[in-house]
A and B are shown apart, each in its own frame.
Chain A
Amino acid sequence: MSRLGLALGLGFLWAPILLLVGYAFSAGRIPFQWGGFSLRWFAALAADERMREAAWLSLRIAAGSATLAMLLGGLAGWALARFGVFRGRALFGALAGAPLVLPEVVTGLSLLLLFVVAQGAAERWFGWRLGRGAATILLAHATVGLAYVAVVVQSRLAGLDRGLEEAAADLGAGPFTVFRTITLPLIAPSLAAGWLLAFTLSLDDVVVASFVSGPAGTTLPMLVFSALKVGLTPEVNALATLILAAAGLATGVAGLIFARISSRGANGAG
């Protein structure tokens, strides 16, 4: 019974994706008719300058915001897991959790209003004319990513044996040495996972980016969204296939690393 349900559910999840991938390699324009094997849509994608520019912008924003999110979210997760009770902890926890549960339209609109107010203030007080675009998207994505990294790091630290750190401290290691030689290696996988999560969220976001961007900043999802509004184009199929291939590759590599780490642990050498 449950096996059938699992098969049906996975079929439902994967059938549309597999159809889309299959038709990325069809020469025809019509989704139902197989037009013969062809890579023309990949070539068209590579030749599309707007797509290339948007993809490059999106990758830079995603890498930058994920890195900021990892640093700030790592600190936030650390504070939430290790600082115990401190003044302002409830507010801190609520703020760190808010981006996880706020609807995208609310996050986007509220951040845009902040940027508009900041722009107004910068112009009135300093005479600076700040635009909106890549930088504002980066700040917005870093904020959302921070929340995800904080959760991942906090739960990892909560499940961590503090005995190792205490032993190192007892043996005379300073706090920085303890952090560098014990804690950091232990939480590095969750920092990496958090970075990857923030990176993909940034690369996938169209709503928040549309709100906070300006005329100069069109990200790849914004471009794909407007392409889908006028109907699916085969280039989008090709693009989705590339994203899927990259995601599959990343998952495979992550799986291999995970398998190596756990087998090392099982041999007692980790």
Chain B
Amino acid sequence: MMRRLALLLPPYAWLLLLVAAPVAILLVVALAEAGPGVPPFLPPLAWDGGPVWAGSLDSLRALVADPYYAEALLRSVGVAGVTAALCLLLAYPMALGIAAARPAWRLPLLLLVLLPFWTGFLPRVGAWIGILRDGGWVNGVLAAFGMAPLRLLFTDAAMFLGMVHAYLPFAVLPLAAALLRRDLGLEEAAADLGAGRWVVFRSITLPLSLPAAAAGFLLVFIPAAGEFVIPELLGPPEAQLIGRVLWGEFFQNRDWPLAAALAVALLALLLLPIRLFQRLDRRP
């Protein structure tokens, strides 16, 4: 029993100190009043013979009152949803292809999907800048054919290309795992009974892989909703997503309570998708 405690204590204490405490402090700072000092906020609880409330609901109120923030939240959900849907659309045939490949080929193919993940996130975004920018690849090809250049970088399309490119492996992995595990006997039986290939796919393969597809969707959606780097480097300046707005309030405006309130709002928004993902993840 003592040995168990000694083993459990270091990670438990670490997690309480570096995961639980920061989130608790975040909630408190969201209720603080911005001030000019270092750090730039006043503690919401003062001590004057006893605890005195010195906080403010201004930051949380601003999220509701100022449409700028509500729009950023909504737009982030929309961008994350579109990104996740595009990833699934691309990932599905890829996962089917991996599952249908000869066994010796499956691991190398999976590695090919995963390896871009290890080239680093920023270099991959950088590659898209080289392709899309004004003097870049696409415009070079267009110019070679005598066509007028297009404005591609800093557009929604560029942002979605970058997002899908970055998050696609997350959608492929759970789908490929589920399709590799599936019982091919069911499909053979349906085919023996006269079902066409499309009917087999629609009535057996697709329903069997739905939990994995949902997991893949959420695996993309959750990080994409708070994404900062890709919209910042590829997206249009006016596309104010929640990650960028939070970054701006923190680094440019030095309004820490507002940044904290935005983080709390983002967390509240992601609570349901996160719970859903964890339930799917726990399925055998």
The chain A residues found within 8 Å of chain B, CB to CB, are: 1-10, 12-14, 16-17, 19-20, 23, 30-33, 71-73, 75-76, 78-79, 83, 86, 88, 91-92, 95-99, 101-106, 109-111, 113-114, 116-117, 120, 139-140, 143, 146, 150, 175, 200, 203-204, 206-207, 210-211, 221, 224-225, 228-229, 231-232, 236-237, 239-240, 243-244, 247-248, 250-251, 255
Q: Say if the beta carbon of B10 comes within 8 Å of chain A.
A: yes
- Asked if B259 and A109 make an inter-chain contact with CB atoms under 8 angstroms apart, the answer reads yes
- Asked if B140 and A33 make an inter-chain contact with CB atoms under 8 angstroms apart, the answer reads yes
- Asked if B10 and A72 make an inter-chain contact with CB atoms under 8 angstroms apart, the answer reads yes
Interface size on B, residues (CB 8 A): 88
List 13 extra interface pairs beyond A95-B15, A228-B125, CB under 8 A: A6-B93, A12-B90, A12-B165, A17-B116, A19-B137, A20-B127, A31-B133, A72-B14, A103-B243, A104-B223, A105-B226, A110-B25, A244-B123
B11-68 residues with Cβ-Cβ distance < 8 A to A are: 11-12, 14-23, 25-26, 29, 39
- Docked complex Cα distance between A47 and B233 (Å): 26
Which residues of A sit under 8 angstroms from B97, Cβ to Cβ?
A: 2-3, 5-7, 9
With both beta carbons as reference points, the residue of chain B lying nearest to A116 in the complex is identified as: B39
Which residues of A sit under 8 angstroms from B136, Cβ to Cβ?
A: 31-32
B168-197 residues with Cβ-Cβ distance < 8 A to A are: 168-169, 172
B244-271 residues with Cβ-Cβ distance < 8 A to A are: 246-247, 250-251, 256, 259-260, 263, 266-267, 270
With both beta carbons as reference points, the residue of chain A lying nearest to B224 in the complex is identified as: A103
With both beta carbons as reference points, the residue of chain B lying nearest to A244 in the complex is identified as: B119
Which residues of A sit under 8 angstroms from B200, Cβ to Cβ?
A: none
- The A contact surface, by secondary structure, is helix
With both beta carbons as reference points, the residue of chain A lying nearest to B246 in the complex is identified as: A105
- Docked complex Cα distance between A76 and B7 (Å): 8
With both beta carbons as reference points, the residue of chain B lying nearest to A196 in the complex is identified as: B118
- Over the window 105-134 of chain B, the binary record of Cβ atoms lying under 8 Å from chain A Cβ atoms (1 yes, 0 no) is 000010111011011111111111111010
Q: How far is the CB of A123 from chain B (nearest CB, A)?
A: 11
Which residues of A sit under 8 angstroms from B131, Cβ to Cβ?
A: 16, 19, 31
Q: Say if the beta carbon of B229 comes within 8 Å of chain A.
A: yes
- Docked complex Cα distance between A7 and B98 (Å): 10
With both beta carbons as reference points, the residue of chain A lying nearest to B13 in the complex is identified as: A72
Q: Say if the beta carbon of B213 comes within 8 Å of chain A.
A: no
Most B C-beta atoms less than 10 A away, residue of A14, A102, A237, A248? A102
Q: Say if the beta carbon of B225 comes within 8 Å of chain A.
A: yes
A-B contact pairs, 10 of them (CB 8 A): A7-B97, A72-B11, A79-B7, A92-B15, A95-B19, A105-B242, A110-B22, A200-B118, A203-B120, A240-B126
Q: Say if the beta carbon of B94 comes within 8 Å of chain A.
A: yes
With both beta carbons as reference points, the residue of chain A lying nearest to B250 in the complex is identified as: A109
- Docked complex Cα distance between A91 and B8 (Å): 13
- Asked if B125 and A101 make an inter-chain contact with CB atoms under 8 angstroms apart, the answer reads no
Which residues of A sit under 8 angstroms from B151, Cβ to Cβ?
A: none
Which residues of A sit under 8 angstroms from B12, Cβ to Cβ?
A: 79, 88, 92
With both beta carbons as reference points, the residue of chain B lying nearest to A96 in the complex is identified as: B15
- Docked complex Cα distance between A31 and B243 (Å): 30
Which residues of A sit under 8 angstroms from B25, Cβ to Cβ?
A: 110, 113-114, 117
